[in-house]
Amino acid sequence: MPKNHSVHQEIWFIALPMLLTGISTPLLGLVDTAVVGHLPEPHFLAAIAIGAMIFNLLFWAMGFLRMGTTGLTARALGERKESELVSILIRGLSISTILGAAVIIIQTPIKEAIFYFVDSTPDVLFHAKVYFDIRIWSAPATLASYVLLGWFLGLQKPKINLMIVISLNLINILLDVFFVVYLNFDSSGVAWATLIAEYSGLFIGIAIAWRIVKTKSADNWRQIYDCKEIRKYLSLNLDVFLRTLFLLLSFSFFTLQSAKYGPIVLAANSILMNLQTLMSYALDSLAHAAEVLVGKYIGCKQELFSVIKITGYWSVGFACLIALIYWALGSSIIGMLTDIDDVAATVVIYLPWLILSPVLSVWSYWFDGIFIGAGYSREMRDTMLISFIVFLLSFLILAGWGNHGLWAALMIFMVARAVSMGFIANRKLKGLAV
């Protein structure tokens, strides 16, 4: 039986590459913010906030492509089914390509439906729509990349994910600066940079996957596209899809309400939410470790509870460290992200909510990892639905507080997630080892 120090090693073997992989994505968002945040008008930054919200809703809702692929791949790896490993990859890429193409085909009704609910100034809406029209073409690349990243993680090769995501984001950052700073493309330059970078990352991932796949045997095409296997792939992930959808609706509601307070508040909230996202990706690295190792030790009681306990300790400690960093360096970070005085001053007013957030949010991220590893997707869905309802009710009650009420409702949402998942975990945790 492994001792605690080997559990720590296993956790960080997965968590460290995933931490570096994860934080590179929101760091890219911060670069987008910094590049556009130094343009003369706040509506450019507000437009990026609207655009990012839309694509978070569209793409992250399909995060089941990553989660489902990881679980199925890890299981096939453990059972030494090499041909199934190849089949899972091909099925996932086929499904993601179809979904991506569908998004492009129906982009006009998607655009009209989403912007119907966006209440902002004409300048913000114009630039947000330009951003949408460009970035929507990245859908096939983004969704296929989810499958590839899930497949590599299921193979326990997190360093490959790190290499792909860092390469993608470096390309994106360089193109951000080139298009916005040198070519004066304003917010459209950010969209072009993301579009090109997404396809670059996809090609890198496919090249690496091909090197792995060509060494393994594969099923025939009839087995790869077996209807039962495809239905299994989709049905396993329906609950995860619904859970993610409610999560994204919560953050989208936050952005849409921010827009109603004007471009200054919207721009300020977008800066704070980028820092919130950075925090969530950092905490997700330990959740990923819990996800993989809980699944690995599902039948071994002592190892299972060691993983749960130790990932919990690391998660809480990490959350406290992030809160201290935001408390000590928050004002300096804001100065790097924007030089628009009104926006910077508004960010400072609401900064205490960001400092509080890691301590309140960490529990739900930790439980997410445990629940995914244990296969409790239905419970994840139900607790997220409950928390979403609590969020909406909290905002209705606190709406008179303005943007402070909006942030308070978001924090209540995080607490509701933690409490509801904690209640389920307390009831079912011992059953994981049966």
What DSSP string runs through 368-415? HHHHHHHT-HHHHHHHHHHHHHHHHHHHHHHGGGTHHHHHHHHHHHHH
Question: What is the pLDDT confidence band of residue 214, given thresholds at 50, 70 and 90?
Answer: confident
- pLDDT tens per residue, range 408-417: 999 999 999 9
List, for residues 279-295, the tens digit of each pLDDT value: 888 888 888 888 777 77
Per-residue pLDDT reduced to its tens digit, 34-58 = 677 666 667 777 777 777 777 877 8
- pLDDT higher than 60, residue 3: no
Predicted confidence (pLDDT) per residue in 162-179, tens digit: 899 889 888 988 998 898
Residue 389 tokens, joined? 């309802």
Task: Give the per-residue pLDDT at 2.
Answer: 45
- Give the mean pLDDT of 196-213: 93
148 neighbors 97 (Cβ within 8 angstroms): no
- Note the pLDDT of residue 1: 40
Share of the chain above pLDDT 90, in %: 35
Supply the pLDDT for residue 33. Answer: 66
> What pLDDT is recorded for position 398?
96
Mean pLDDT of the chain: 84
Lowest mean pLDDT among 6-15, 29-38, 269-278, 386-395: 29-38
Helix (H, G, I), strand (E, B), or coil: what is residue 106? coil
How far from 327 is each of 33, 169, 321, 357, 407, CA to CA, in Å?
20, 27, 10, 11, 17
Cα dihedral 218, 60, 418, 267, rounded to 10, equals: 150
Burial annotation 386-423 (CB, 10 A radius, 16+ → b, else e) = bbbebbeebbeebeeeebebbbbbbbbbbbbbbebbbe
pLDDT score recorded for residue 191? 87
Residue 133 burial (C-beta neighbours within 10 Å; 0-12, 13-18, 19+)? middle
Q: Alpha-carbon torsion 406, 409, 415, 418, what sign? A: negative
Q: Can you tell me the distance from the alpha carbon of 28 to that of 176, in angstroms, rounded to the nearest whole number? A: 10
Residues in Cβ contact with 340 at an 8 Å cutoff, skipping those fewer than 6 apart: 37, 42, 45, 267
Give the mean pLDDT of 219-233.
Answer: 70
Tell me the CA distances in angstroms from 8 to 4, 21, 60, 309, 311, one per residue in order.
6, 19, 30, 11, 8
Euclidean distance between CA atoms 185 and 179, whole angstroms: 6
Q: Residue 27 — very low, low, confident or very high, per pLDDT cuts 50/70/90?
A: low
Question: How does pLDDT run across 138-160, given as a tens digit for each residue?
Answer: 999 999 999 999 899 888 788 89
What average pLDDT does this structure show over 238-265? 87
pLDDT digits (tens, 9 = 90+) for 63-101: 778 877 877 787 777 677 777 888 889 888 999 999 999
**Which residues have CB under 8 Å from 191's CB, separation 6+?**
51, 130, 131, 132, 134, 135
Identify the pLDDT of residue 394.
Answer: 97
Query: pLDDT grade, residue 341 (50/70/90)?
Result: confident
Distance of CA 108 to the CA centre of its chain: 25
What distance lies between CA 336 and its chain's CA centroid? 24
pLDDT over 50 (residue 260): yes
Q: What is the SS3 assignment for 124?
A: helix
